[in-house]
């Protein structure tokens, strides 16, 4: 090919289009990389059996209605058009992250005032002292004090086990309330956080009474093994080193899904604990004289892509939302790290203002508000 000035002529141009293209090379300096244009004949370039130039010329003819004799291109790197970074649309995102847009409902004046008072450090005495109860849900095992709420729902608070226990009861009571027919089998069952912790500590074929009671059909309103999803909140470690994540056993898809907002670099770091929870769970259920059609090993462990936290204290909030929203995939983009502080406030506001909270009216009056 000749790297000199090239003129590509066209035949029968349209009135509103250019009749030809002129390409003039630039004289290269000694220290510069030369810029020049080349002219490619129609039958000159073949890549893996494809005539690249011919395909380009055919496209040119389809668009402009005329035929050119060749294709001109530049070899100078600055002339190559860059690729503008584009944000992935929802249709191209992984299914566990993709979600329809949503608009959060604004908190009411009463909710804002309650949060302002409740989240701050409680007084040593008085109607809203640290040991006074502020959330007592009908049917929940544990009430929550102002100290419990402050420690778990302040901006950098770590969700405690007692708070996770109460939130679990609250979510299950909400599910039960939303079922129009109580005889219908619920689609999911959420276990108490102590259940997974005890499964981790249990030795094979040696299960304590607390574990046996959790799977006893006579002590359950329904057979949880007929649900689609079994959700187990898991706490590993203690104190500030503790970390919450979720294990979801899909009885329909034969999967053991690990929902972790601080996913380890190597899944092998988490897998041994998950395997022990899964294997002990099915062995425990089998000891309860149920007939299982699948072994524990058939429930393959996988790590779905879920929203990730960007700090070390929000894992409990993520687990609460996983328990609330997970149906095989996330149904909301609410857990982006930019809004997680608002998520904390909204969870607490929902607990305080829920009609099942027996302390609701007394707290509102103590703050000096009216519903």
With CA atoms as reference, report the closest residue to 201 among 300, 284, 292, 289.
284
Range with the poorest average pLDDT among 92-96, 115-119, 146-150, 293-297: 92-96
Q: How far apart are CA 73 and CA 19, in angstroms?
A: 18
Joined together, the tokens standing for residue 101 give 């847009």
Full-prediction pTM beyond 0.85?
Answer: no
Q: Let me know how many helices (H) and strands (E) the chain has, helices first.
A: 10, 14
With CA atoms as reference, report the closest residue to 154 among 119, 128, 129, 122.
119
pLDDT given at position 185: 83
pLDDT tens digits along 250-285: 999 999 999 999 877 666 788 999 999 999 999 999
Question: Looking at the domain assignment, is residue 73 inside a domain?
Answer: yes
pLDDT tens digits along 67-86: 655 545 444 545 445 555 55
Question: Looking at the domain assignment, is residue 371 inside a domain?
Answer: no
Question: Looking at the domain assignment, is residue 44 inside a domain?
Answer: yes
Residue 15 has pLDDT above 70, yes or no: no
Question: Looking at the domain assignment, is residue 46 inside a domain?
Answer: yes
Question: Looking at the domain assignment, is residue 27 inside a domain?
Answer: yes
pLDDT tens digits along 181-232: 767 788 999 999 999 999 998 876 778 888 888 888 888 888 899 899 999 9
The number of residues in the chain equals 371
pLDDT band at 3 (very low <50, low <70, confident <90, very high): very low
The answer to whether 357 touches 135, Cβ cutoff 8 Å, is yes
Joined together, the tokens standing for residue 365 give 């009056």
Question: Looking at the domain assignment, is residue 150 inside a domain?
Answer: no
The answer to whether 170 touches 324, Cβ cutoff 8 Å, is no
Question: Looking at the domain assignment, is residue 58 inside a domain?
Answer: yes
| Pairwise pLDDT comparison (178 vs 346), residue with the higher score | 346
Token look-up 């294990």 returns: 247
Give the pairing type, strands 229-236 and 243-250: antiparallel
Instruction: Provide the number of structural domains found in the chain.
Output: 1
Q: Tell me the DSSP string of 109-171.
A: HHHHHHHHHHHSPPBSSSTTBTTSEEE-BTT-S--EEHHHHHHHHSTTPPPPHHHHHHHHHHH
Question: Looking at the domain assignment, is residue 290 inside a domain?
Answer: no
Element (H, E) at 193: helix 193-201
Q: How far apart are CA 359 and CA 137, in angstroms?
A: 8
- Average pLDDT across the chain, whole number: 77
Q: How far apart are CA 233 and CA 166, in angstroms?
A: 12
> Which domain, by its residues, includes 48?
6-79
Joined together, the tokens standing for residue 325 give 């929203």
Joined together, the tokens standing for residue 266 give 């190597």
């Amino acid at each position: 090919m000749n790297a000199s000035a090239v003129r590509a002529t066209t035949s029968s141009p349209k009135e509103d289009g250019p009749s030809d293209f002129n390409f003039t090379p630039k004289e290269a300096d000694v220290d510069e990389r030369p810029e020049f244009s080349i002219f490619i004949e129609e039958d000159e370039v073949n890549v893996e059996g494809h005539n690249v130039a011919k395909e380009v010329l055919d496209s040119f003819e389809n668009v402009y209605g005329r035929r050119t004799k060749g294709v001109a291109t530049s070899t100078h790197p600055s002339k190559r058009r860059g690729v503008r970074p584009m944000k992935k649309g929802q249709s191209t995102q992984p299914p566990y992250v993709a979600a329809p847009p949503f608009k959060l409902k604004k908190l009411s004046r009463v909710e804002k005032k309650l949060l302002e008072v409740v989240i701050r450090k409680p007084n040593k005495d008085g109607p809203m002292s640290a040991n006074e109860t502020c959330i007592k849900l009908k049917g929940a095992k544990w009430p929550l004090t102002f100290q419990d709420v402050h420690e778990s729902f302040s901006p950098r608070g770590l969700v405690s086990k007692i708070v996770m226990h109460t939130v679990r009861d609250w979510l299950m009571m909400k599910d039960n309330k939303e079922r129009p027919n109580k005889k219908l089998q619920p689609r999911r069952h959420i276990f108490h956080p102590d259940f997974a912790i005890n499964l981790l500590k249990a030795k094979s074929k040696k299960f304590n009474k607390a574990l046996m009671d959790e799977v006893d059909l006579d002590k359950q309103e329904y057979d949880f093994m007929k649900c689609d999803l079994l959700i187990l909140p898991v706490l590993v470690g203690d104190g500030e080193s503790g970390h919450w994540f979720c294990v979801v056993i899909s009885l329909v898809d034969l999967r053991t899904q690990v929902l972790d907002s601080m996913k380890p670099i190597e899944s092998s770091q988490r897998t041994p604990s998950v395997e022990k929870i899964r294997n002990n769970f099915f062995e425990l259920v089998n000891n309860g004289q149920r007939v299982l059609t699948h072994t524990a090993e058939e429930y393959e462990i996988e790590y779905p892509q879920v929203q990730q936290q960007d700090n070390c204290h929000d894992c409990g909030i993520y687990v609460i939302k996983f328990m609330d929203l997970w149906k095989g995939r996330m149904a909301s983009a609410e857990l982006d790290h930019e809004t997680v502080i608002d998520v904390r406030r909204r969870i607490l506001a929902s607990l305080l203002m829920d009609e099942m909270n027996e302390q609701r009216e007394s707290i509102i009056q103590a703050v000096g508000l009216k519903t």
